[in-house]
Amino acid sequence: MRAVCGVSFTVGAGETLGIVGESGAGKTALALALMGLLPEGSHVTGSVRLCGEELLGRSDTDMSRMRGKDIAMVFQDALSALTPVHTVGDQIAEAVRIHRRVSRAAARARAVELLHLVGVSGRWARAYPHQLSGGMRQRVMIAMAVANDPVAIVADEPTTALDPTVQAEVLDVLRVAQKAVGAAILLITHDLRVAAGFADRVMVMCAGRVAETGPAELLRPPRIEPAETPQDRPDRPVVLRVDGLVRHHSLHKGTLVRRRAGTVRAVDGITFDVREGETLALVGESGSGKTTTLMEILQMSRPKKGRIMVLGHDTAFLRAARRRALRKDVQVVFQDTCASLNPRMRVSEILSEPLATHGQPIGDRVEELLNLVGLEPGHARRYPGALSGGQRQRVAIARALALEPLLLLLDEPVSALDAAVQARVLDLLQSLRARLGLALLLVAHDLALVHTIADRIAVMHMGRIVEIGSTAKVYRAPAHPYTRALLDALPTPDLRPNRRRHILLRGDPSDVSPSGCRFRVRCPDYVTLSPAAKRQCEENDPEQRPVESEKNADQAAACHHPLLKAEVER
């Protein structure tokens, strides 16, 4: 089997080449061949030259001397690539000492210096990989990659499944690192927007071959405006209502680096509703409370505080029998299908299980469900491990639809899929919603995808909904600075308000002001406010209120100084 066939390209010093394509196109195989990291039994022909020196045919010992020094790699899964039993500072220092004759103290000092280069405080040098966020781990990987001023850096999906703001920061760190060492970068990604916004040139791969090459503008899509929310929304029945929902977790000493014991406000008084045939998207960075909200709804029990109404039933007063019956009408599709689908069950068994559980006849239902989500009858005999990522997600959707629910909860259903597969799954969800009248509550961090499916959007930050409204209005004129920052972080300008310049949101997502507005410590607008306005932000946590006039009552934001439409366009 030929994973890569006849691929040729060049990358100049300080240049970035983006390599894009679906899973199985040969992108990662190409990267591993360049690095001399292909598994045993693989055969490579052709030529790979780095500054005129041939790399193919070298021994593993020779390549080990070059890897990390002349050519470095940033892997996709930083948690797997980093050693869990050593601190990140020690691991960066090791990368320095392997290729340079320096003392341990000098290597540690260099490690701290490199952490600062990629925007991580030196105090995190004493932390272990699991104690860092995904974005911080990826920064550590970049620090290790540039530790010895390499000539070339191969970055394999460095931003997959990261929040938009973290993704933008990681790409910005790569730019800074590239400028610091003058390295050529080979960026491998399935996200066309990332390649279009970061690379100088792109190479599109398909089935192991080069399908097309050209400037990055080749991938930039036209600006697409989201559709307006249907005017009949107020007349539609409410399927789900969440009112003042609260979920706090106790935080014990020793669980996180330099974190005091206290309370984590995972969800802190949020209110929203979802109506029949409508899609509401919950968006925000990791840790904003999106998935916790989903789990609270799924439990269908009495929340710590607040109220959850599902199909007119208050979950706080449900009896066991009624709760079981109600679960039939509320189904969920999880992000990780490898974990949510039983690997020992065939697809037919997975799809028939909910029917058997609720005492419904199976008959031809499995075949009907497969047809509904665009799978072949032959897929029924397969195990999840024999399916592609997109096929597994379709099976998960089919299982959720087996009992004909009225409300479908989706937790990042396409975050790790290729762009083409993402589009097919989203198109499937759109058609199912139209045919079956489903209401969807979608949790996502990719704002560039949300606008294609959501009627309304609720932006969460640190357990609060800071802005909510129709997708068209929120994207066209975001009122909260956090919403604007999320849109500004998108790698291409087609969805930024008025094609704003690319502004990065600095700081860690967990940075919260001890009083007043929780977003204040990261707010890009705070420094421009008058002293009186700053005092208002420092003393009072803003409540949600309608934006501008009565005609915009559908859009509300929790900000003392919301950005009005005229200011966005300016």
pLDDT digits (tens, 9 = 90+) for 42-74: 889 999 999 999 999 898 899 999 998 999 999
Distances (CA, A) of 242 to 307, 439, 502, 514: 6, 14, 34, 26
104 versus 507: the higher-pLDDT residue is 104
- SS3 letters for 129-193? HHHCCHHHHHHHHHHHHCCCCCCEEEEECCCCCCCHHHHHHHHHHHHHHHHHHCCEEEEEECCHH
Question: Is residue 500 very low, low, confident or very high in pLDDT (cuts 50, 70, 90)?
Answer: low
Question: Is residue 495 very low, low, confident or very high in pLDDT (cuts 50, 70, 90)?
Answer: low
Tokens matching residue 154 = 């191969």
**CA distance linking residue 395 with residue 408, whole number of Å:** 14
Tell me what the mean pLDDT of segment 209-222 comes to: 82
* SS3 at position 232: coil
Tell me what the mean pLDDT of segment 478-502 comes to: 75
Residue ranges in 437-470 assigned as alpha helix (H): 447-450
Q: What is the DSSP string of 510-543?
A: T---SSS-TTTTT-TTGGGS-HHHHHHHHH-PPP
Nearest CA among 342, 350, 383, 387 for reference residue 369: 350
Q: What is the pLDDT of residue 403?
A: 92
Q: Exposed, middle or buried: residue 289 (CB in 10 Å: 0-12, 13-18, 19+)?
A: buried
Q: What is the pLDDT of residue 262?
A: 64
Q: What is the pLDDT of residue 193?
A: 83
Per residue in 254-272, pLDDT (tens digit) is 444 445 556 778 899 999 9
Contacts of 27 (CB under 8 A, 6+ apart): 19, 20, 21, 156, 188, 190, 205
Please say if the pLDDT value at position 253 is more than 70.
no
Helix%, strand%, coil% for the chain, nearest 5:
40, 20, 40
Contact 189, 74 (CB under 8 A): no
Instruction: Estimate to the nearest angstrom the gap between the alpha carbon of 478 and the chain centroid.
Output: 20
Contact 202, 213 (CB under 8 A): yes
Residue 106 one-letter amino acid:
A
Task: Name residue, tokens 């004493």.
Answer: 126
Tell me what the mean pLDDT of segment 191-213 comes to: 90
Tell me what the mean pLDDT of segment 83-105 comes to: 93
Q: What is the pLDDT of residue 501?
A: 55
Per residue in 365-421, pLDDT (tens digit) is 999 999 988 889 999 999 998 887 788 888 999 999 999 999 999 998 887 677 777
Question: Is residue 162 very low, low, confident or very high in pLDDT (cuts 50, 70, 90)?
Answer: confident
Please say if the pLDDT value at position 188 is more than 90.
yes
- Of the given ranges (22-31, 294-303, 403-412), which has the lowest mean pLDDT? 22-31
Tell me what the mean pLDDT of segment 149-177 comes to: 85
Element holding 297 (H helix, E strand): helix 290-299
Q: What is the pLDDT of residue 342?
A: 94
Per residue in 515-534, pLDDT (tens digit) is 899 898 888 888 889 999 99
Contacts of 134 (CB under 8 A, 6+ apart): 78, 79, 161, 162, 166, 286
Q: What is the pLDDT of residue 256?
A: 47
**Domains detected in the chain:** 16-219 (3.40.50.300), 233-329+405-569 (3.40.50.300), 338-404 (no CATH)
21 versus 227: the higher-pLDDT residue is 21
Tell me what the mean pLDDT of segment 206-212 comes to: 91
Question: Is residue 566 very low, low, confident or very high in pLDDT (cuts 50, 70, 90)?
Answer: very low
DSSP class of 229: P
Q: What is the pLDDT of residue 307?
A: 96
Per residue in 431-453, pLDDT (tens digit) is 888 888 899 999 988 787 888 88
Contacts of 529 (CB under 8 A, 6+ apart): 537, 561
Cα angle value 146/151/155 (rounded, 5°): 60
- Dump strand ranges (E) for 420-509: 439-444, 456-461, 464-470
Q: What is the pLDDT of residue 510?
A: 63
Tell me what the mean pLDDT of segment 276-288 comes to: 90
Per residue in 343-368, pLDDT (tens digit) is 999 999 999 999 999 999 999 999 99
**CA quadruple 126, 130, 132, 136: dihedral, nearest 10:** 110
Cα angle value 215/220/226 (rounded, 5°): 180
Contact 478, 471 (CB under 8 A): no
Contact 465, 558 (CB under 8 A): yes
In DSSP terms, 458 is beta-bridged to 282, 468
DSSP class of 222: P
pTM above 0.85, yes or no: no
Nearest CA among 289, 225, 203 for reference residue 471: 225
C-alpha dihedral sign at 494, 214, 205, 165: negative
**CA distance linking residue 118 with residue 121, whole number of Å:** 9
Q: What is the pLDDT of residue 507?
A: 65
Element holding 305 (H helix, E strand): strand 305-310
